[in-house]
Chains A and B, each alone.
Chain A
Amino acid sequence: KNEVEQSPQNLTAQEGEFITINCSYSVGISALHWLQQHPGGGIVSLFMLSSGKKKHGRLIATINIQEKHSSLHITASHPRDSAVYICAVDRETSGSRLTFGEGTQLTVNP
């Protein structure tokens, strides 16, 4: 079993829909990261969080440390949100090396 699991693996939505991507982890962490990988391959950091909730525009990330679970929400989804979303954790005992989930492929249709 992977230490970082994401669901779903693939998600197709219609423009305007509310989207949720989930991430569960099984190790102690100091922080959790949400990353976005564009169709061209580039990876950008969306959020880094260790507790609670963060919001940036239409994106919201939450984390529940006790349940070892995080969610990424996209409100009013748009075709330009189509990308792979990757969850990664900073493990407490790793010297801060990230462990990555496999990613969720999101397609938003107009």
Chain B
Amino acid sequence: NAGVTQTPKFQVLKTGQSMTLQCAQDMNHNSMYWYRQDPGMGLRLIYYSASEGTTDKGEVPNGYNVSRLNKREFSLRLESAAPSQTSVYFCASKTFLGTYEQYFGPGTRLTVT
């Protein structure tokens, strides 16, 4: 099993450009998450999907949209990138919404100039 995969690994955007970060898991998990990690701050939740067909906002959703394409895939879209969105983005999944172990992808390092 590949676990949780993310593409791309690195990306540089200019202010105002758009892009989609892709995430897929092959563990048959129901719940999926997008986080951002910034220096001096803990991981912060952007959006999550408790199950296929549902999405909800996390702590820092502004400037992002998500799509739960199917049970395996959960994408994060930046419609008009801003320098404040320079960060490392992690996708994660777990079996169900509830107290279960989370599995993380390798991360995408995004720089917006």
Interface residues of A (CB under 8 A from B): 2, 4, 30-31, 33, 35, 40-45, 48, 50, 86, 88, 90, 95-103
Chain B contact residue count (CB 8 A cutoff): 24
**Interface positions of B from 78 to 113, Cβ below 8 Å from A:** 88, 90, 97-104, 106-107, 109
CB distance from B98 to the nearest CB of A (A): 5
**Residues of A close to B88: CB separation below 8 A:** 41
Q: Is the interface of A mostly helix, strand, loop or mixed?
A: strand
The dominant DSSP class at the B interface is loop
- Chain B residues with CB under 8 Å of A35's CB are 104
Q: Can you pick out 5 interface pairs between chain A and chain B where the beta carbons lie within 8 Å of each other?
A: A30-B99, A41-B107, A50-B99, A97-B58, A102-B40
- Which of A31, A33, A43 neighbours the largest number of chain B CB atoms within 10 Å of its CB? A43
Give the docked Cα–Cα distance between A40 and B90 (Å): 13
- Whether the pair B48, A102 counts as a contact (CB closer than 8 A) is no
Determine if B107 and A98 form an interchain contact, defined as CB atoms under 8 angstroms apart. no
User: Would you call A100 and B42 a contact (CB within 8 A)?
Assistant: yes
